[in-house]
Structure 1
Amino acid sequence: MKYNGLLLTLPKEVKVFVGVFVLVLSIGFYTGLLFIQETDSNHPSGIQENYLGNEEDEEAEVMKFKKGEREMLTIVHTHILSMSLIFFLLGALVWLIQLPKRLKMFLTVEPFFSVIATFGGIYLMWSGILWMKYIVVFSGILMTLTFTASAILVLCQLCFKTAIHTAE
């Protein structure tokens, strides 16, 4: 079965549907990043403070308390499930665009490792392995980069390849 570039052969209505889906998915993804920025969790010390609290810091502007085990399990559980579904759907679209197989493989498999490293790392950091905050930052950045690259590639092929294809 030939699937490389299959997205380009779909009817215009399906392409519009896919494009709108990727745009809305991206809005949701980047809104989550805005939330991370609001909680100061976009750097290692902020991540640690967000999950382990800052009760000892008398100069803290906002008092934060260590999250309970039930809350941590809920955070990890919901994020792993939702992010895996997000990357599965976006990955399926990446497999339908025209790209080298190795690049597709990276863009579609790596995010799953990043999801486990990010949210598993958050749980391990909360459990006391404090150096995991660096893994969380690295894997979170990598996850964001692969999401961004995948979404841009799908949208570009939907928009620009269609115009080139119909012009010929």
Structure 2
Amino acid sequence: MQYNGFLLSLPKEVKIFIGAFVIILSVGFYTGLLFVNETSAGTPSGIQENYQGNEEDEDAEIMKFKKSEREMLTTVHTHVLSMSLIFFLLGVLVWLTKAPKKIKLFLTVEPFLSVMLTFGGIYFLWTGIGWMKYVVIFSGILMTLTFLFSSLMVFFQLFYKSNRYA
């Protein structure tokens, strides 16, 4: 089966459907990033404080308490499942684009590694391994970049003339 570039040959109506899906998926993904920034200020100490609390800081503007084990398991469980599904669906679309296999392989496998490092890292950070906050930031940035490049590659190939890629 020839799947490289298959996305380019789809009917206009199917391309619109896929494009709408990618847009809504992106809105949801980036809204999640806004929430992360709101709860942790996007800093290593903010991420650590979000999960381990800041009860010892008397000058804290907002008092945060250490998450319970139930909260942590719920967070890790729901995010690993939902992010896996998000990256699986986007990955299927990436494999249907016309691009080198090595690029597609990276864009479709790396997010699963980043999901495990990000949410596993958050759990280990919660247990008291402070340096995991840097793993969480690095893997989160990498996951976001692969989402960005994957969604742009799919979207770009949906709405440009297919003969440009022939």
Please give the TM-score of this superposition, normalised by the length of structure 1: 0.96
1:70-126 deviation line (CA, Å, top 9, x unaligned) = 000000000000000000000000000000000000000000000000000000110
C-alpha distance in structure 1 between counterparts of 2:110 and 2:148, whole Å: 13
Indicate yes or no: 2:148 matched with 1:148.
yes
Which residue does the alignment assign to 2:69?
A: 69
Instruction: Say whether the 8 Å CA contact 1:41–1:50 is kept in structure 2.
Output: no
Which residue does the alignment assign to 1:32?
A: 32
1:137-160 deviation line (CA, Å, top 9, x unaligned) = 000000000000000010001112
Which residue does the alignment assign to 1:94?
A: 94
Indicate yes or no: 2:15 matched with 1:10.
no
Instruction: Say whether the 8 Å CA contact 1:114–1:143 is kept in structure 2.
Output: yes
Instruction: Say whether the 8 Å CA contact 1:8–1:157 is kept in structure 2.
Output: yes
C-alpha distance in structure 2 between counterparts of 1:161 and 1:107, whole Å: 23
C-alpha distance in structure 2 between counterparts of 1:41 and 1:91, whole Å: 29
C-alpha distance in structure 1 between counterparts of 2:43 and 2:161, whole Å: 38
Over the matched positions of the two proteins, sequence identity in percent amounts to: 69
User: Residue 161 of structure 1: CA displacement?
Assistant: 3.4
Which residue does the alignment assign to 1:118?
A: 118
C-alpha distance in structure 2 between counterparts of 1:147 and 1:56, whole Å: 37
User: Residue 58 of structure 1: CA displacement?
Assistant: 0.6
C-alpha distance in structure 1 between counterparts of 2:27 and 2:71, whole Å: 25
User: Residue 163 of structure 1: CA displacement?
Assistant: 7.9
C-alpha distance in structure 1 between counterparts of 2:95 and 2:114, whole Å: 19
Q: Relative to structure 2, which stretch is displaced further, 32-41 or 56-65?
A: 32-41
AA matched with 1:135: V
Specify every segment of 5 or more residues in structure 2 that has no aligned partner in the other structure, as ranges. none
Specify every segment of 5 or more residues in structure 1 that has no aligned partner in the other structure, as ranges. none
AA matched with 1:139: S
User: Residue 164 of structure 1: CA displacement?
Assistant: 4.7
AA matched with 1:95: W
1:57-80 deviation line (CA, Å, top 9, x unaligned) = 011000000000000000000000
Measured on the aligned residues, the alpha-carbon RMSD in Å equals 1.4
Q: Which aligned segments of 4 or more residues in structure 1 are displaced greater than 3 angstroms?
A: 161-165
AA matched with 2:31: T
C-alpha distance in structure 1 between counterparts of 2:14 and 2:164, whole Å: 18
User: Residue 40 of structure 1: CA displacement?
Assistant: 2.2
Which residue does the alignment assign to 1:139?
A: 139
AA matched with 2:103: L
